[in-house]
Amino acid sequence: DIVLTQSPVLAVSLGQRATISCRASQSVSISSINLMHWYQQKPGQQPKLLIYRASNLASGIPARFSGSGSGTDFTLTIDPVQADDIAAYYCQQSRESPRTFGGGTKLELK
């Protein structure tokens, strides 16, 4: 199985940039298509798709969210961080079955 590793917690100040990383145990890219996706989950709510295929913004998601990376290293950036962005963030790969998720990064206020 492809293991996705995220830092458990990231503390940021409002208005600053948050950079959330996700490292895969093996490449999740196929012929320049990066099969890594990002979700936001607020307490008591279902996950919401933010970014698909590493860098594509999902419908209705604000432009302060962006994604980058390829191969095994991927990043979700929030700039600037707003109060509404305090949540958990998960990466997910679809390169191989089983589909796997990272353990999640909880974004907290400094």
Binding site for other proteins (CB under 8 A): 33, 35, 37, 39, 45-49, 52-53, 58, 90, 92, 94, 97-104
Q: Which is nearer to other proteins, 81 or 91 (CB)?
A: 91
Q: CB nearer to other proteins: give 49 or 64.
A: 49
Strand pairing partners for 107? 10
Closest CA to 28 of 50, 9, 1, 48: 1
In the complex, what is the shortest distance from the CB of residue 68 to other proteins, in angstroms, rounded to a whole number? 16
State residue 106 phi and psi, 5-degree precision. -90, 120
Residue 21: which residues within 8 A CB-CB, separation 6 or more? Answer: 6, 7, 73, 74, 75, 76
Q: Which is nearer to other proteins, 35 or 87 (CB)?
A: 35
SS3 for 100? strand
Residue 85's nearest CA partner among 59, 105, 67, 107 is 107
CB of 12 to other proteins, least distance (A): 21
Task: Name the residue nearer to other proteins (CB basis): 17 or 99.
Answer: 99
* CB of 73 vs other proteins, minimal distance in Å: 18
CB of 48 to other proteins, least distance (A): 7
